[in-house]
Amino acid sequence: MIYQNKLFRYIMNIIMILLIAACVLPFILLISSSFSSETDLAQYGYSFIPRGFTTAAYTYIWGIKSSILRAYVMSFVITIIGTCASIVMTMLFAYPLSRKDLPGRGIISFFLFFTMLFNGGFVPTYLIYSNIFHVTDTLAAMIIPYLLMNAFYVIMVRTYITTNVPMEVLEASMIDGASEVQNLVQIVVPMSKPIIGTIALMSAIAYWNNWTNGVYFIQTRRDLFGIQNYLNSVISNIAFLQTHTSSSINASQLPSISIRMALAVIAIIPILIAYPFFQKSFVAGITVGSVKG
C-alpha cells in the first residue's frame, strides 16, 4: 500500500511537471522570440534562445510609447468599469435564483442555461446593439456587448450561495427586519468573497483580452481603443508596410514577427501581475462554485 501511494505521488508529480512546462514554455518562447531578429525568425523559426539578439522590436514600441500608454489607460478604464458592472449584475441575478421560494425559479434557470447552449447569432446581436441600443462609437460598446453578463458566472455564484450561505441566517435577519437588499449587501456578499474574487478575475481577463468589440462597434472613435485593439492596429500597419514597400527597401527587415511577440509580452504583463493577488480566491471559488450543488 505504501509503495502504491508513493508510485501514485511520483506519477502525479510527473504529470504536474509536464502541465507546468506546457504553461511556462510558451511564455519563454514568446519572450525569446521578441528579442530575436526578424531575419533569423524567418529563416530558422522560433527558438527558446534568441537568435540574432536584438531589441529592435522594443525600440519600435518605445517610439510609439505615448499611444501605447493611452491605450493602456483606456484598457484599465474598460476593465475596471466592466468588471465592477459585471460583478454587480451577476450578484443581482444569482442571489434571487439561489432562493428556493422565488416564483418561476425553474423557468428562469432554464432560460439562463439555454443561453449557454444557443444564441441569436452575430448579425441579430450586432443589429440590436447598434440600431436599438446605439452603442456604436461609445464606451458602452467596449463594456456591454458579449461581456457584461455571463450565464456561467451566474450559475457559479448561485451554486456558491446555495451551498455556503445558510438560509437560516437570511431568515433570521429578515425576522429582525432586514430587507432582501440588506441581506445581499450585509450577509451574502461578505460570505461570497471567494466566488466574487473568482468572477472578478475571469471578467477582468475577458475585458482585458477582448478586441472583437472594438472591431465590431468602434468605427471612428479610435481613442476608445484598448491595448488589444491598438496592438492589432499596429500589427496591421506593419503588414501593410510589408506589402506596399518599394523594391529599394527589403520588406523582410521590417520587424513584424518580433514586434508581435513584444506586443504580446507587453499586453500580458498586467494580468501576470494581478493573478497572484486573486489566486487564493480563484481556487476556492472555482472549486466550491463549480463542483458542489
What's the pLDDT tens digit per position in 203-225?
A: 988 999 888 888 888 888 888 88
Residue 255 has pLDDT above 50, yes or no: yes
Q: Which residues contact 88 (CB under 8 A, 6 or more apart)?
A: none
The answer to whether 39 and 46 have CB atoms below 8 angstroms apart is no
Q: What is the pLDDT of residue 248?
A: 45
Q: How confident is the model at residue 60 (pLDDT cuts 50, 70, 90)?
A: confident
3-state secondary structure of 144: coil
Q: What is the mean pLDDT of residues 266-276?
A: 77
The answer to whether 293 and 163 have CB atoms below 8 angstroms apart is yes
Q: What is the mean pLDDT of residues 145-171?
A: 86
Residue 86 has pLDDT above 90, yes or no: yes
Residue 110's alpha-carbon distances to 104, 149, 155, in angstroms, are: 10, 16, 11
Percent of the chain at pLDDT exceeding 70: 86
For the ranges 51-60, 65-74, 78-87, 226-235, the maximum mean pLDDT occurs at: 78-87
Cell of 65: 510609447
pLDDT tens digits along 36-53: 877 777 777 777 888 778
The answer to whether 76 and 139 have CB atoms below 8 angstroms apart is no
Determine which of 104-113, 133-142, 162-171, 274-283 has the lowest per-residue pLDDT on average: 274-283
Q: What is the mean pLDDT of residues 132-156?
A: 88
Q: Is 177 left (phi over 0), alpha (psi -120 to 50) or beta?
A: left
* Comparison of pLDDT for 127 and 236, the residue scoring more: 127
Write down all domains in the chain, each with its CATH number in brackets. Answer: 65-291 (1.10.3720.10)
Q: What is the pLDDT of residue 292?
A: 45
Q: How confident is the model at residue 61 (pLDDT cuts 50, 70, 90)?
A: confident
Determine which of 3-12, 22-31, 86-95, 189-198 has the lowest per-residue pLDDT on average: 3-12
What is d(CA 250, CA 262) in angstroms, rounded to the nearest whole number? 21
Residue 150 has pLDDT above 70, yes or no: yes
Percent of the chain at pLDDT exceeding 90: 8
Q: What is the pLDDT of residue 239?
A: 64
What is d(CA 135, CA 228) in angstroms, rounded to the nearest whole number? 19
The answer to whether 229 and 208 have CB atoms below 8 angstroms apart is no
Q: What is the mean pLDDT of residues 160-183?
A: 83
3-state secondary structure of 26: helix
Q: Which residues contact 31 (CB under 8 A, 6 or more apart)?
A: 261, 265
Residue 247 has pLDDT above 50, yes or no: no
Determine which of 59-68, 83-92, 212-221, 280-289 has the lowest per-residue pLDDT on average: 280-289
Residue 111 has pLDDT above 50, yes or no: yes
Determine which of 9-13, 125-129, 261-265 has the lowest per-residue pLDDT on average: 261-265
Burial class for 120, CB neighbours closer than 10 Å (0-12, 13-18, 19+): exposed
The mean predicted confidence, pLDDT, of the chain is 80
- Considering only the C-alpha atoms of the chain, give the largest distance between any 2 of them, rounded to a whole number of Å: 83
Helix and strand numbers, DSSP H then E, in the chain: 14, 0
What is d(CA 205, CA 147) in angstroms, rounded to the nearest whole number? 11
What is d(CA 205, CA 224) in angstroms, rounded to the nearest whole number? 18
